[in-house]
Structure 1
Amino acid sequence: MPKPSSFLASKGFKPFPFQKQTWAAYRKGMSGLLHAPTGQGKTMAVYLAPLVDSISSPDKCAILWITPLRALAADTLRALREAQSFYNPKLSSEARTDDTSAAVRAKLRKRLPHTLVTTPESLSLMLTHADMREKLTGLRCVIVDEWHELLGTKRGVQTELCLARLRTWFPNLRTWALSATLGNLEEARDTVAPENAATISATIKKKILIETIIPKEIRRFPWAGHIGTSLAPQVVEKIANARTTLLFTNTRSQTEIWFQELLSLRPEWASQLAMHHGSLDRTERDRAENGLREGSLRCVVATSSLDLGVDFSPVDQVIQVGSPKGVARLLQRAGRSGHQPGADSRILGVPTNALELIEFAAARQAAGAKQIESRRPLLKPLDLLVQHLVTCAIGTPFRADEMLAEIRSTYSYRNLSEDEWQWALTFITKGGKALSAYPRYQKAQIDKNGFYYIADKRLITQHRLSIGTITSDSHVSLRFANGHTLGSVEESFISKIKPGANLIFSGRHLSLVRIRGKIATVKPAKKKNSGRIAIWGGSKMPLSTELAHAFSDLINLSGKATVPPELRSVRPILKIQKEWSHLPDDQALLIEHAHSREGEHLFIYPFGGRLVHEGLAALLAFRLSKENRQTITTTQNDYGFSLTARRNLPLAEDVLREALSPENLLDDLLECMNTAELARRQFREIARISGLILQPMPGRRQTNTQRELQSSATLLYEVLQRYDPENLLLAQSEREILEKQLELTRLSNSLHKISKQEFILRETEKLTPFAFPLWADRLSATLSPLDASSRLEAMLQELNGAT
């Protein structure tokens, strides 16, 4: 039998020790997790051993490769096919994702290739076909790529459930996961591999150079986004001096903005610039990916759609616009450059406000100290469980006791209770207590031998259309009159644009012709100096605990002789903060009290991240307002939060300690936050995943009037609240909103930490540099843009006059 190392030798490479370890573990029949830097040969480490093990079976599907992003599929296929052709030209590989053409999908339904690259959603869909077990009889190994991207999400749990099904079918199946940036390796391994699995970490030290563009002038009172695209000329210089650059932003809208900015500064680069984000049509994304591989593009502006392991060897520079908010994310993006063994990775940070300079320096410091974020596994999402049970019942009918053992073999559902299991079975057979009278919710039946099965062909088709966990605002396709598709925008955005008005999408200036159904017809705009840039919903990423701690450590070193250049540049800001108040950190709690035209303000800096501060602000405002019955408004950012009232905000430690107590946290949060409305919104996602709301049949429009219950999440939520208040999906929606919206666990930890901290109380005559961004954010949220801008400039003049 040929050796796995033979392929590497044919390319002039010697295997790394971690590759040899992985091959040896596979030969012993082991599963496991491989953790290694980006671009160091992880793919061949996990693929070559099962490939060599199965080269004599070209007619059977021996390997499944699960990828979190469809953008990875083409590049993964290219690498796998090269290895296949070396060992046995008769071996085949193909991809099955949302981008796969109808012709290839039809081909795959007849016969699976030796290696199939797919996504969690597509794998779930495969399980709904009765012949899938037979087609996979030659399966030897499942490889999950970029596991850190899936871990802690419902897509990750969906992968766990699919793996459990495959292991039930094939007990000797080996599963391997790949990850480049994770802090909790053992826990990550346990979620994807069975007991006694291996954890293999590469000892290779890949050099990552993290630098920052420092503005020539920095305002001493910064606020979010005040630098904006002002650094674009310096960014253009950096791009001009590199071979190929990948410029990352944190949002799709920011991608569109920066593409336009680069194009306006260097119009001669029109054919050398491209854009990449998830809402672009596949042809647009393919152009960007192919241009990066070939080195024909000077720069691609992208979101996280290009974060992961695509091999773009020509990329020698990565630029990150805005703080990445996490150490792992910065390292992941940096790894897109120098994507080959022995090469250095370089990333250049571009701050959008002055305090982000510190965040970039802190990320570099934390990365050097290997303070990498962990991804906590998601536990027992019941909406996904019932979706999976229906999936399995469609494909291969099951017995309840056997399926329970299979479900409990996963990490996520290992502690699934008997009551929760019985609820899930009742849900798929009767729809639960409140919906049992409606046939459309009675999906599964039980035959005389105790097997759960589904016979309704209409329900089967609808379920297949609804498989998955990704939910978002309804999308509208953007097309030219000739049928060429550009991509999609959210319905909430395009519905605000009138026919004849201009918009900017995919780097193009467009004019809206009309909207019919889910299609918006556009044409090239005559004037290219106006138009609304497409925006998408989504919350801002919160600062991670690890980066917040590194930020805190760093600012207190600002007075030292030797400090990072980013810190030197913001010394004037930190100097004013220290003179007027105190330098905040995460060891003690700084609380400032100030007055302005709007009234009194409390500024509090726990360094807990945006989402935690949202909950802390609401909680503190609620508890304080119970005493004096006044209206208190709140604002938050990653460093702290503010409370504003007309009068009587206390700067008394005993009062504030009591108001920030962790006692009765959950009850007070449920009372002070609009959790009923938040949970109602979250229920829409849960209702879709659990199958309470199904996609309409192809070619049919979903009606708004039905004799049965409306396919409306709001109505369903109200029905369940009234007639089935113990329904576990209601509890899940509340639990998810607390974790998703407020990061309840992290919030609770913050309150317990605060209860043990020293309080530093400061009465300030002026807004300090750390308070000013919170004040400015509140201004933007409560005043018109013109009034906010005028008030902002007036305050800046006042503050600058005081320094």
Structure 2
Amino acid sequence: MTGPVATIAIDQWFAQRGWRIRRHQQEMLAVAASGRHALLVADTGAGKTLAGFLPTLVDFSSDAPDTVLPPEGLHTLYVSPLKALAHDVQRNLLTPVENLGLPIRIETRSGDTPSDRKARQRARPPHILLTTPESLALLLSYPEADTLFATLRRIVIDEVHAFATGKRGDLLALALSRLQAIAPGLQRVALSATVADPDDFRAWLAPWGDIDSVALVEGEAGARPELEVLLPEDARVPWGGHAATWAVPQLYEAIRANRTTLVFCNTRFLAELIFQQLWEVNDDNLPIGIHHGSLSKEARRKVEGAMARGELRALVATASLDLGVDWGDVDLVVQMGAPKGSSRLLQRIGRANHRLDLPSRALLVPGNRFEYLEAIAAQQAVDEGQRDGEEFRPGGLDVLAQHVMARACAGPFDGAALLAEVRSALPYAAVDADTWQRVLHFVATGGYALKAYDRFQRITQDRDGLWRLTHPEHAARFRLNAGIIMDAEMIEVRFRNGRSLGRVEENFASSLAPGDTIRFAGLDLEVEALRETEMLVRAAKKPGQIPSYGGQRMPLTTHLSQRVQALLADRGGWARFPDDVREWLEVQDYRSELPAPGSLLVESFPYEKRHYAVIYSFEGWPANQSLGMLVTRRMEEQGLGPLGFVANDYALAVWGLRPITDPARLLSPEILADEFVAWVEGSYLLRRAFKEVAVIAGLVERQQPGKRKTGKQVTFSTDLIYDVLRKYEPDHVLLRAAWADARARMTDVDRLAGVLDRAQTNLNHVVLERVSPLAVPVLVMIGREAMPQGSADDELLIEAEGLAGAAMRVEPPSGDDDEAADEAQHR
């Protein structure tokens, strides 16, 4: 290993470009020389990726003192959460390598890589391989893995915050434990601009959670971003809706006024909708593109290349591009709708003016009044440099089962040795012997209830004590089906000439018939034929409906939720809000109450011959949705005649035939004991969670040689197994895994528990004669939840105006009390 300085050639290369080696880049070289692992936290544009690779460039520099060039073979792994990011890094990394004349071969490996190149990479690996957690895990499943990774010196994990706390992070943590066993001298490096608690990520990165083995390197501070909240030209913020389509004319003018604008949307549907509406007002025929994960690889690569060459004036994108992609000519970022978290917003803002010394410029476009408050809260958080993030939790047992099977595919293994290796990964540090045996025997036989079926007999323990595959065909089947990302079942959209446009969800496709039209990938298409795994289309002359995607909603983070509540409580600060938002809050304050931090406001009122209650939890959509299910069940038990509920990130509205007079009784903590369990077990949630863990763990295969199962076939298989296990083996390891998922991800039970705690200690119940102003944004969602975001916005806003008329009407108190009347008039 070279010393903690760059070589003369690297110094000169920096100087030729008018750069200097920044302090944090020099520190990364010093940490590499010391042999420690490193977490680099630095602002976007600070040269984090180059800092991660500088020690590798130094290793291959021939002018370094006493240089002995690394041997042939894989030297550095780069792991990113996005395929696009790996390709972008390859483009940017080739420049210094070529300029310096370094003997380094760089290649990418992902699901898009041709199979012949993948095979060649295993036999003759490049010096630097850029990949994803899933592709790395598959590489480790081959018998040649020990030889392939024996020369590995460094692994660089980019945008570590994006996946470390989820199942992809579990998979990567297990891969790190395997790599460290193969190459004990391996140095781990992680990079991020938006880590909320660096020590948590240092512990995740370190072998055995040894935080002291990971140096924390903090980057130089960059220019503060310039963030503006966009308002309608008439300064009237909509009551409801999430699409913010009102802003399209103003958005187009912003695109015209800038060189390149990146427009982020929270969903694929919204990206297609905004792209469509921009083209409808694109009188100048500006080059505007679209990018999301359901478009074909060819379409995505074409758009990425056009952006890199500066050929687009605007690109509408989803999270498929919000991590680390370096397009220096982007001078404006637009966030359509609420950001849901300050870290996510910081990440997206950083795509503009991708330099440390230039401020990133961004526009936030709220869809409704609550989203306006959320935008202001996010703006404040960004100004203060405050970040939020998800908490770490124990690793998924389904991911552990997949890792065990991958290890068996690579060759025989000793169970005790593999357990020790697994425990060195922080998510699995607490795996006990009993749980480990359950996982092993599940991989071996499927478990007690399934062991009689030959197809579940995948590994066996020989007399020498080693576990090995029962048949080589299991390795091929495993590699066809391994993975963590669980999108809804998709079908291909193709022209008859074979050109693929991308994929739509099977459920959406099943609602179509030949002759129907859709708008996808920016094109109007007519459905010609529907098959099991593909939809044939041709160009259409009339516009069609935009495909909807299920997906997992991004909930409002706790950090941003608390900031929104603080804005509501800060009456002195309302003066800077638009007049209609300020009036909305003032009338709410006069007619009812405002949600206060640490308390729980519940409003009850009649509306259209029904009795409504609105619970202002501010705990995010998953928790509010779960609460709605539980509360309506309890309303039924109490004879209140529940008729329905609707939820958003801020509130839950329930309605029924009779009024709720005692909300604390509905929200008692024991609802999370028997009733929560009964609801989850009787709902689709546990079955859905089981389907996902069964596929991840390899119990049910989606892909067979030359054929992929439809979503209905996979669901049928998992439902059948689920019923068998519930009856004959209720403590099966995958049922445990499904329960963990249902509690944490689908129902957000921890935040739900927080609502119930506040209901018992600080509940404020306000009984009203009619709907309150604050209730309008959630009430206008009734009947719209099943519709794609944006499609019903016009109807929604018309309905909102009717509700608002009742909510905002203010009458002075009855009687002759002049003082009270004067106060009412004043307020």
TM-score, scaled to structure 2: 0.91
Task: Tell me the equivalent position of 2:766.
Answer: 762
- 1 CA distance for matches of 2:442 and 2:326? 44
Query: Is the counterpart of residue 469 in structure 1 residue 484 in structure 2?
Result: yes
Deviation at 1:700, TM superposition (A): 4.5
Task: Tell me the equivalent position of 1:207.
Answer: 224
Deviation at 1:705, TM superposition (A): 14
- 2 CA distance for matches of 1:550 and 1:711? 44
Q: Which range is displaced more, 668-677 or 510-519?
A: 668-677
Task: Tell me the equivalent position of 1:81.
Answer: 94
After superposition, the C-alpha distances for 1:762-784 in whole angstroms (9 at most, x for unaligned) are 22233122111222222445999
User: In 2 relative to 1, CA 432–252 (structure 1 residues): closer, same or farther, beyond 3 Å?
Assistant: same
Q: For 1:691, what is the secondary structure of its paired residue?
A: coil
Q: For 1:594, what is the secondary structure of its paired residue?
A: strand
Deviation at 1:504, TM superposition (A): 0.4
- 2 CA distance for matches of 1:416 and 1:773? 45
Task: Tell me the equivalent position of 1:584.
Answer: 595
Task: Tell me the equivalent position of 1:738.
Answer: 743
Deviation at 1:648, TM superposition (A): 3.3
8 Å CA contact retained: 1:222, 1:769:
no
Deviation at 1:289, TM superposition (A): 1.4
After superposition, the C-alpha distances for 1:435-474 in whole angstroms (9 at most, x for unaligned) are 1111111101223321111152321111001111111222
Task: Tell me the equivalent position of 1:684.
Answer: 691
Q: For 2:394, what is the secondary structure of its paired residue?
A: coil
> Which amino acid in structure 2 is aligned with residue 533 of structure 1?
I
User: In 2 relative to 1, CA 626–704 (structure 1 residues): closer, same or farther, beyond 3 Å?
Assistant: closer
Query: Is the counterpart of residue 185 in structure 1 residue 198 in structure 2?
Result: yes
8 Å CA contact retained: 1:586, 1:607:
no
Q: For 2:781, what is the secondary structure of its paired residue?
A: helix
Deviation at 1:388, TM superposition (A): 0.6
Structure-to-structure mapping, 1:303-382, within 5 angstroms: 303-382=318-397
Deviation at 1:641, TM superposition (A): 1.2
- 2 CA distance for matches of 1:221 and 1:313? 34
- 1 CA distance for matches of 2:438 and 2:201? 29
> Which amino acid in structure 2 is aligned with residue 578 of structure 1?
D
User: In 2 relative to 1, CA 257–629 (structure 1 residues): closer, same or farther, beyond 3 Å?
Assistant: closer
Deviation at 1:185, TM superposition (A): 1.2
5+ residue gaps, structure 2, are: 62-68, 812-827
Matched-pair identity in %: 33
Q: For 1:611, what is the secondary structure of its paired residue?
A: helix
Task: Tell me the equivalent position of 2:416.
Answer: 401
- 1 CA distance for matches of 2:254 and 2:800? 33
Structure-to-structure mapping, 1:89-488, within 5 angstroms: 89-194=102-207, 195=210, 196-217=213-234, 222-225=239-242, 228-269=244-285, 272-488=287-503
Q: Which range is displaced more, 469-478 or 328-337?
A: 469-478
- 1 CA distance for matches of 2:84 and 2:711? 36
Task: Tell me the equivalent position of 2:565.
Answer: 552
Q: For 1:521, what is the secondary structure of its paired residue?
A: strand
Deviation at 1:753, TM superposition (A): 3.9
Q: For 2:49, what is the secondary structure of its paired residue?
A: helix
Query: Is the counterpart of residue 493 in structure 1 residue 508 in structure 2?
Result: yes
- 1 CA distance for matches of 2:426 and 2:153? 22
> Which amino acid in structure 2 is aligned with residue 680 of structure 1?
R
- 2 CA distance for matches of 1:569 and 1:96? 52
- 2 CA distance for matches of 1:705 and 1:532? 24
- 1 CA distance for matches of 2:197 and 2:239? 35
User: In 2 relative to 1, CA 781–340 (structure 1 residues): closer, same or farther, beyond 3 Å?
Assistant: closer
- 2 CA distance for matches of 1:704 and 1:337? 39
8 Å CA contact retained: 2:231, 2:237:
no
- 1 CA distance for matches of 2:642 and 2:573? 43
Deviation at 1:676, TM superposition (A): 4.5
User: In 2 relative to 1, CA 382–600 (structure 1 residues): closer, same or farther, beyond 3 Å?
Assistant: same
User: In 2 relative to 1, CA 434–710 (structure 1 residues): closer, same or farther, beyond 3 Å?
Assistant: farther
Deviation at 1:209, TM superposition (A): 1.1
Task: Tell me the equivalent position of 2:674.
Answer: 667
Deviation at 1:540, TM superposition (A): 2.8
Structure-to-structure mapping, 1:516-527, within 5 angstroms: 516-525=531-540, 527=541
Task: Tell me the equivalent position of 2:38.
Answer: 32
> Which amino acid in structure 1 is aligned with residue 18 of structure 2?
G
8 Å CA contact retained: 2:244, 2:365:
no
- 2 CA distance for matches of 1:79 and 1:705? 43
Q: For 1:777, what is the secondary structure of its paired residue?
A: coil
Deviation at 1:607, TM superposition (A): 1.6
Task: Tell me the equivalent position of 1:715.
Answer: 720
8 Å CA contact retained: 1:66, 1:142:
yes
User: In 2 relative to 1, CA 705–202 (structure 1 residues): closer, same or farther, beyond 3 Å?
Assistant: closer
Query: Is the counterpart of residue 657 in structure 1 residue 673 in structure 2?
Result: no
> Which amino acid in structure 2 is aligned with residue 23 of structure 1?
L
Q: Which range is displaced more, 109-118 or 787-796?
A: 787-796
User: In 2 relative to 1, CA 46–262 (structure 1 residues): closer, same or farther, beyond 3 Å?
Assistant: same
- 1 CA distance for matches of 2:313 and 2:226? 21
Q: For 2:455, what is the secondary structure of its paired residue?
A: helix
Deviation at 1:798, TM superposition (A): 4.3
8 Å CA contact retained: 1:250, 1:321:
yes
- 1 CA distance for matches of 2:332 and 2:78? 29
Deviation at 1:575, TM superposition (A): 1.6
- 2 CA distance for matches of 1:332 and 1:710? 36
**Among candidates 619, 641, 646, match of residue 608 of structure 1:** 619
- 1 CA distance for matches of 2:531 and 2:573? 63
- 2 CA distance for matches of 1:52 and 1:781? 55
- 2 CA distance for matches of 1:12 and 1:704? 55
- 2 CA distance for matches of 1:362 and 1:602? 26
Task: Tell me the equivalent position of 2:638.
Answer: 627
**Among candidates 27, 46, 59, match of residue 72 of structure 2:** 59
User: In 2 relative to 1, CA 380–81 (structure 1 residues): closer, same or farther, beyond 3 Å?
Assistant: same
Task: Tell me the equivalent position of 1:778.
Answer: 782
8 Å CA contact retained: 2:333, 2:352:
yes
- 2 CA distance for matches of 1:30 and 1:461? 37
Task: Tell me the equivalent position of 2:25.
Answer: 19
Deviation at 1:796, TM superposition (A): 4.4
> Which amino acid in structure 1 is aligned with residue 26 of structure 2?
K
User: In 2 relative to 1, CA 489–499 (structure 1 residues): closer, same or farther, beyond 3 Å?
Assistant: same
- 2 CA distance for matches of 1:117 and 1:21? 23
Deviation at 1:322, TM superposition (A): 0.1
Structure-to-structure mapping, 1:527-542, within 5 angstroms: 527-528=541-542, 530-542=543-555
**Among candidates 499, 506, 518, match of residue 521 of structure 2:** 506
User: In 2 relative to 1, CA 607–791 (structure 1 residues): closer, same or farther, beyond 3 Å?
Assistant: closer
8 Å CA contact retained: 2:240, 2:797:
no
TM-score, scaled to structure 1: 0.93
Q: Which range is displaced more, 215-224 or 427-436?
A: 215-224
> Which amino acid in structure 2 is aligned with residue 586 of structure 1?
P
8 Å CA contact retained: 1:35, 1:200:
yes
8 Å CA contact retained: 1:221, 1:769:
no
- 1 CA distance for matches of 2:796 and 2:154? 59
- 1 CA distance for matches of 2:529 and 2:517? 12
Q: Which range is displaced more, 343-352 or 188-197?
A: 188-197
8 Å CA contact retained: 1:37, 1:206:
no
The alignment yields a C-alpha RMSD, in angstroms, of 2.6
User: In 2 relative to 1, CA 454–198 (structure 1 residues): closer, same or farther, beyond 3 Å?
Assistant: same
Counting matched residue pairs gives 790
Q: For 2:72, what is the secondary structure of its paired residue?
A: coil
> Which amino acid in structure 2 is aligned with residue 712 of structure 1?
S
